[in-house]
Amino acid sequence: MSYRSSALWMLGYPEAALADADHAITDAREIGQAATLMHALAVRSLTHILRRNYATADALGDELVALAEEKGAPFWKALGMMEQGWVSALNGNASDAIQKLTFGIASSRSTGATVFLSTFLPDLAKAYADGGQFDDAWRCIGEAMTAVETTKEKWFAAEVHRIAGEIALMSPEPDALKAEAFLERALAVARAQQAKSWELRAAMSMARLWRNQGKRNSARDLLAPVYGWFTEGFDTLDLKEAKALLDALA
């Protein structure tokens, strides 16, 4: 069992990613071995987070945390808490997100683990920004970028830069030039990784920025070919939002 479903999602195949995660959880429940099931629950929750199916992801997180507590598995409990915190951040519940992500990250670090720090620190940064705590937000972005370089875990690198760009626009004094630089970096990283789902998110963020600056044609020219590449997953929020944005730019 692996995080292949996450790789499939990154590469632009959200339906294949979900099928892979569903297969993993079915196999894990049939095997009935706790460590395998905790791994599968984490994988499936992550896949639903990426697809933005938040209620399902949160329920899987509940199951993971409960099983980890029962089995005395602090790393898996921390991972479940971080996934639930990510869901809270995406749902705009900043205070709950900060509480769960802070606890989960600290608990994970206490086990000696470094995996997924570069994934969850940007989500904590976004939660801090949503709560108006921008110093903490930029601190977490800096820690996430350091984690990418020191751990060489780069699957979330494009999102680190995209989220940084979004935070630059949320600040009390929005910095469009800083945001654009972060978003350009997010696009470059996604393209280098052939990570179409990350490229779509970065292109949407840039397209919204350019639209607000009156550069509608540039926004459409950036987003249209990325959206046009996809062959599945049109029921996901990312692709629905991309289509709506393109329609608004037409």
Give per-residue pLDDT as tens, 9-62.
Answer: 999 999 999 999 999 999 999 999 999 999 999 999 999 999 999 999 999 999
- Confidence check: pLDDT of 2 > 60: no
pLDDT digits 0-9 by tens, 211-243: 999 999 999 999 999 999 999 999 999 999 999
What pLDDT, on a 0 to 100 scale, did the predictor assign at position 3?
A: 72
Q: What are the CA-CA distances from residue 216 to residues 65, 113, 165, 193, 250 (Å)?
A: 45, 45, 19, 27, 8
Determine what percent of the chain is predicted with pLDDT higher than 90.
Answer: 98
Strand locations in the chain (E): none
Question: Which residues, other chains included, contact 84 with Cβ-Cβ below 8 Å and sequence gap of 6+?
Answer: 58, 61, 62, 65, 100, 104
Burial 180-200 (b: 16+ CB within 10 A, else e): bebbebbbebbeebebbbbbb
Please state at what angle helix 74-90 crosses helix 94-110, rounded to 10 degrees: 160
Q: What is the mean pLDDT of residues 193-221?
A: 98
Mean pLDDT of the chain: 96
Do the beta carbons of residue 108 and residue 81 sit within 8 Å? no
